[in-house]
Amino acid sequence: MQEERKVHIEVRDVTMAYGSFVIQRDLNFNIYEGDIFVIMGGSGCGKSTLLKHMLGLIPPSAGDIAYHGTSFTQASPKQQEAMRQRWGITYQSGGLFSAMTLAENVSLPLQLYTEYSAADIEAIVAYKLSLVGLGGYQSYYPSEISGGMAKRAALARAIALDPEILFFDEPSAGLDPISSRLLDELIIQLKESIGATVVMVTHELPSIFAIANNCVYLDNTTRTMIGYGDPAYLREHSDQAVVRQFLTRSAAAAEEDTA
């Protein structure tokens, strides 16, 4: 008998709006423990905005977002901060502090949120950097490494506290195809090693089909979700032509969906 998967994140009746301008409405979906979940859709549909709502950076105009059954939207600031400490986040630019070495960047959450000794933090940082293939690069500054290496360093910082959830905003942006594929493989390896659920915004079809097992499609025209489930299944069987077209589009068309 197949074990029932546990819901990790619930998005319930969420409406995203700036004043009277509605970006998306009536969003309802689950993200399960261990998912690699992709938020996708055309340019300007609100993908990154939804991610910001899930991170609590923007409150929804209506609806609720819950983690393991606990409402984040209705939680107190102290409760929200405690929940955030179980998350790891990487941004499209990487978000590394340029004046800090890689070791200093990765050690920052450990210094802020743990009581580990300096020696313990140094050992953890070395381990996390080795996990992403940057062992021995502790003393390097972001300006001294490649874009792909900076993405991996940002990932090392995101996993410093062994998070339950990893959030990514366009993790492959600006990378060549080989570096992008290597980053996809790294995300899978890290997900399995720390047991995290992964939520990512991406328009990259190779990444979507290589690593994602669940997704939501946000539609510009109807301003709501019109696709939800396994992306490979939606590509072949979605009853929405726009979803099938998005998932079978050419590389040139894909470049138009980066926003």
**Regarding beta strands 62-67 and 70-71, do their DSSP bridges make them parallel or antiparallel, or are they unpaired?**
antiparallel
User: What pLDDT shows up at residue 176?
Assistant: 82
Confidence bin at 250 (pLDDT 50/70/90): low
pLDDT above 60: residue 252: no
Mean pLDDT, to the nearest integer, of 53-74?
95
Q: Could you tell me the two tokens for 232?
A: 């490979």
User: What pLDDT shows up at residue 251?
Assistant: 47
Q: For residues 202 and 9, which has the higher predicted lDDT (pLDDT)?
A: 9
What percent of the residues of the chain are helix, what percent strand, and what percent coil, each to the nearest 5? 40, 25, 35
- Rounded CA-CA distance 110/120 in Å is 10
- Rounded CA-CA distance 189/175 in Å is 19
Q: Which tens digit of pLDDT belongs to each residue from 201-241?
A: 988 898 999 999 999 999 999 999 999 999 999 999 999 99
pLDDT above 90: residue 1: no
What are the distances in angstroms from CA 183 to CA 5, 21, 39, 68, 207?
Answer: 26, 36, 18, 28, 9
User: What pLDDT shows up at residue 259?
Assistant: 43
Under DSSP, the state recorded for 180 is H
* Stated pTM of the model: 0.88
User: What pLDDT shows up at residue 217?
Assistant: 97
Mean pLDDT, to the nearest integer, of 184-195?
88
Q: Which tens digit of pLDDT belongs to each residue from 145-187?
A: 998 899 889 999 999 999 999 999 988 777 788 888 888 998 8
pLDDT above 80: residue 122: yes
User: What pLDDT shows up at residue 4?
Assistant: 76
User: What pLDDT shows up at residue 3?
Assistant: 59
Mean pLDDT, to the nearest integer, of 108-112?
94
- Rounded CA-CA distance 212/209 in Å is 6
User: What pLDDT shows up at residue 135?
Assistant: 93
On average, the pLDDT of the chain sits at 90
Q: For residues 189 and 12, which has the higher predicted lDDT (pLDDT)?
A: 12
